[in-house]
Structure 1
């Protein structure tokens, strides 16, 4: 083997070794750069999704509150049926008393009208 051929082989091995060392030394930096690039591209979209989700959560909480309020109103209405029955009974009694009063006033008016002397013309 001559000297030139040996130098060529040494140079190739040296170049490959240098290239390998360069790749190994820069691999973490490249990986971190790729991560940073990915985060920079995807972060605005993730922030928008988070904002949308918070808005939807607020709207959902409002709807849930409205439904719970409506349910409690309906439950209190079903519990008040006893009171409505009582009111119905009292109204029926009041109507009956009013009819009795009207009937007795009508009889007394007819009785007083029959005792009034006829007017002369």
Structure 2
């Protein structure tokens, strides 16, 4: 009976040892299988996120370019205020000259009429 009991204990020990070796030997493949499974599930979503991010980056770059262009336009407008002031003074000067010419023409056309009263030629 001792021998049967001993064989049973040896069988249990060898079965447990075999099971442990089997688990240890297959653990890396199970881990790799789980990684592969995870990658297959998450890769399409990650690819979509990458595509979305690239699209947002392009839109952001476009918006940044637009803002920089607008800022440079505003800066150049501020820098051109000297020219606008010069144009303004030239326009005021030309309006004053036009008024002087109009006044001079008005005097020159009204002067001959005052010398000769109407109806007396």
Show CA shifts across 1:7-47 (max 9, x none). 11111111111111111111110000010011111111111
State the distance in 2 between where 1:104 and 1:27 align.
109
Q: Which residue of 1 aligns with 2:31?
A: 31
Q: Which residue of 1 aligns with 2:87?
A: 87
Gaps of 5+ in 2: none
Gaps of 5+ in 1: none
SS at match of 2:118: coil
SS at match of 1:54: helix
Runs (4 or more) in structure 1 with deviation over 6 Å come to none
The Cα RMSD (Å) is 1.5
Show CA shifts across 1:86-116 (max 9, x none). 0011001100110011001101110122345
Q: How many residues are paired up?
A: 120
SS at match of 1:118: coil
TM-score (norm 2): 0.92
State the distance in 2 between where 1:63 and 1:118 align.
75
TM-score (norm 1): 0.92
- Residue 117 of structure 1 and its aligned partner are, at CA, apart by 6.1
Q: Which residue of 2 aligns with 1:104?
A: 104
